[in-house]
């Protein structure tokens, strides 16, 4: 059985202010029409629909929002932002919430984060994404060795899984690596996990 939410006690005004400040969006302009939910292509994988995430922030329910799986399943396609009749950039809100959840060390779907690391590792190393490298790193990190392996033959046939990394002329890869380094240092200063 679920407990009734005491809206007075649970309301975290600092949370609302923080999300508004970081995302640049004003939550009182959302009138809960549900158009963000209606168009969301990842909605099937959400534990709470987008408009419910928005509602959670409106009510200042920090735990409900930041512990949600939905913010990790978001594809950042921005259909929600495009459809919003009140010009709220909902995709940026989702992005903001992911950053906040990471800072608070609560990642509801760790394997999404692991996939990001795997992807970014290849970019850091080669300046561009390298599919097979991403795949291998993700398998090692998540121990999900057989995930989507059945798709490999088809992808190989279409030359979507090159064995060699893409190369960038004129030291592009090194330049990208430097960018990563800079950000890693900033993350260290601000106390965020890179």
Partner 1 sequence: MRIGVFICHCGSNIAATVDCAKAAEIAKSFPDVVYAADTMYTCAEPGQAAIEAAIHEHKLDGVVVASCSPRMHEATFRRTVERAGLNRYMFEMANIREHVSWIGKDKEANTNKTAELVKMAVAKLRNNSPLTAKTFDVTKKVLVIGGGVAGIQAALDCAEGGVPVILVERESTIGGKMAKLDKTFPTVDCSACILGPKMVDVAQHPNITLYAYSEVEEVSGYVGNFSVKIRRRASYVDWEKCTGCGACSEKCPSKKTPDAFNEFTGLTTAINIPFPQAIPKKAVINAAHCRQLTKGKCGVCAKTCPTGAIDYAMQDAFVTEEVGCIVAATGYELMDWTVYQEYGGGVWPDVITSLQYERLLSASGPTGGHIVRPSDGREPQTIVFIQCVGSRDKSIGRPYCSGFCCMYTAKQTILTKDHLPWSRSYVFYMDIRAPGKMYDEFTRRAVEEYGVEYIRGRVSAIYPDGQGRYVVMGADTLLGEQVEIKADMVVLAVGIEAARGAPGLAEKLRISYDAYGFYMESHVKLKPVETNTAGVFLAGVCQGAKDIPASVAQGSAAAAKVLALFARDKLENDPQTAQVDIRRCVGCGKCIRCCPFGAIKDSEIRGENKAQVIETVCQGCGLCTATCPQGAIQLAHATDNQILAEVNALCR
Per CB under 8 A, residues contacting partner 1 are 29, 31-40, 43-44, 48-49, 51-52, 79, 83-87
Report the sign of the C-alpha dihedral through residues 27, 28, 32, 36, in that order.
negative
State the maximum Cα–Cα separation within the chain, in Å, rounded to a whole number.
Answer: 62
- Of 29 and 76, the one with the shorter C-beta distance to partner 1 is 29
- Of 93 and 173, the one with the shorter C-beta distance to partner 1 is 93
Angle between helices 131-142 and 110-126 (to 10 degrees): 140
- Of 69 and 83, the one with the shorter C-beta distance to partner 1 is 83
In 3-state terms the chain splits into helix, strand, coil percentages (rounded to 5) of 60, 0, 40
CB 154, min distance to partner 1, A: 25
Tokens at residue 35, please? Answer: 């158009």
CB 51, min distance to partner 1, A: 6
- Of 29 and 167, the one with the shorter C-beta distance to partner 1 is 29
CB 99, min distance to partner 1, A: 25
CB 40, min distance to partner 1, A: 7
Residues 165, 77: Cα–Cα separation, whole Å: 27
Tokens at residue 26, please? Answer: 């004003």
């Amino acid at each position: 059985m679920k407990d009734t939410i005491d809206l007075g006690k649970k309301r975290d005004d600092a949370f609302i202010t923080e999300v508004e400040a970081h995302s640049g969006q004003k939550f009182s302009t959302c009138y809960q029409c549900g158009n963000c939910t209606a168009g969301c292509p990842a909605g099937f994988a959400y534990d709470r629909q987008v408009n419910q995430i928005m509602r959670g922030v409106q009510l200042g329910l920090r735990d409900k929002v930041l512990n949600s799986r939905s913010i990790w399943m978001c594809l950042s396609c921005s259909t929600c932002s495009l459809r919003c009749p009140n010009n709220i950039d909902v995709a940026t809100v989702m992005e903001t919430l992911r950053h906040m959840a990471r800072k608070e060390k609560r990642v509801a779907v760790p394997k999404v984060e692991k996939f990001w690391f795997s992807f970014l590792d290849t970019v850091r190393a080669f300046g561009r994404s390298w599919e097979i490298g991403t795949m291998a790193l993700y398998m090692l990190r998540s121990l999900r060795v057989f995930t989507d392996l059945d798709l490999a033959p088809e992808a190989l046939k279409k030359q979507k899984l090159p064995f060699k990394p893409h190369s960038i002329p004129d030291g592009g890869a090194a330049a990208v690596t430097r960018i990563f380094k800079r950000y890693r240092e900033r993350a260290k200063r601000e106390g965020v996990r890179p």
